[in-house]
Amino acid sequence: MSSLVILGSSSFLGKVFLNNVKDNFFVKAVVRKIPIDKKKYSKNIQWIKINTFNISSIKNILGKEDVVVNLIYLKDNRTANIKLINNIINACIESKVAKLIHLSTASVAGNVKDRYINELTLCKPKSNYEKVKMEIEKIVLSGLSREFDIGILRPTAIVGYGGKNLKKLSN
């Protein structure tokens, strides 16, 4: 039976996602530390604690035809992010998952003068964050030639508790 695998389930977005899981849907919630309030979530969520830097750990939780959602990003650590995404891609390939959905950011577009930005816009990342996120996207897209579907989401902002986006927008 295929499942939805959420890498980075303890992140802000991961928690919001898991709060909306219906009881008729099976989810593997992958975390570095199992939350103490896990009982407040659906009973169809299996909490899995792993070291995401160990490719074997990732492969052991993935099944054929799973849909994997990657929400993990390690702030200010290019090398670790590159190693992590390579491990995720390779584990997905070896496990024959159906799809990988990777969360990126709209800011990878960088310093673009176009009035409208879409998937065809040539990205010109400027900041280190934008450059690392763009590099990760390129690695994710390399999985396309390896026979599983890939989707990249680029939200413009995620507004949540403790976030600065809403404050910036309101100012």
Domains of the chain are 4-170 (3.40.50.720)
pTM (predicted TM-score): 0.89
**pLDDT the model gives residue 157:** 77
**Beta strand extents in the chain (DSSP E only):** 4-7, 27-31, 45-49, 67-70, 99-103, 149-153
**pLDDT the model gives residue 95:** 92
Task: Enter the tokens of residue 170.
Answer: 């309101």
**pLDDT the model gives residue 125:** 94
Dihedral sign for Cα atoms in the order 11, 90, 79, 129: negative
**Amino acid, single-letter form, for residue 63:** G
Residue 50 CA neighbour count, 13 Å, CB half = 26
**pLDDT the model gives residue 120:** 84
**pLDDT the model gives residue 167:** 65
Question: What would the pLDDT profile of 1-26 be if each residue is shown by its tens digit?
Answer: 689 999 999 988 898 889 888 777 78
Q: Which residues of the chain have pLDDT under 50?
A: none
Residues 21, 40 contacting (CB under 8 angstroms): no
